[in-house]
Amino acid sequence: MSLKINELCVNCDVCEPVCPNKAISMGADIYVIDPALCTECVGHYDEPQCVVVCPVECIDPDPEHPETEAQLLAKLADLQGSTA
C-alpha cells in the first residue's frame, strides 16, 4: 500500500531526499507522496525510509491505495523499466 503524509507534517524536508523513487514532493501546504511512485521502499530497503527519518511520525499507510508486496515489486519493476 502506498504511504500518505498526514496533516502533522511540519515541512522539515527530511523525507524527500531519502525516497529512492522520488515519490515525495512539496504539495500546496505539506509534502505529499505520489501513490503511482511509492513502493514503500520494497526492493530498496527493509523499511520505508521516509517513515524511518520522519521526526513527527506523520507518514501512514494510505487506505485508498492497498497493495501487496508482489504488487509493490511489480510497480518497482515498471518504474525501473521506464527510467532505463
User: pLDDT tens-digit profile of 1-59?
Assistant: 899 999 999 999 999 999 999 999 999 999 999 999 999 999 999 999 999 999 999 99
**What is d(CA 4, CA 80) in angstroms, rounded to the nearest whole number?**
22
**What is d(CA 50, CA 29) in angstroms, rounded to the nearest whole number?**
18
pLDDT at 1: 81
pLDDT at 26: 98
**How distant, in Å, are the alpha carbons of 15, 54, 72, 82 from that of 49?**
7, 9, 15, 22
> What CATH number is given to the structural domain containing 69?
3.30.70.20
Domain that holds residue 50: 3-83
What letter would DSSP give residue 7? T
Query: How many independent structural domains does the chain possess?
Result: 1
In this model, does residue 83 exceed pLDDT 70? Answer: no
pLDDT at 41: 97
The closest of 49, 58, 54 to 20, measured between CA atoms, is: 49
pLDDT at 82: 63
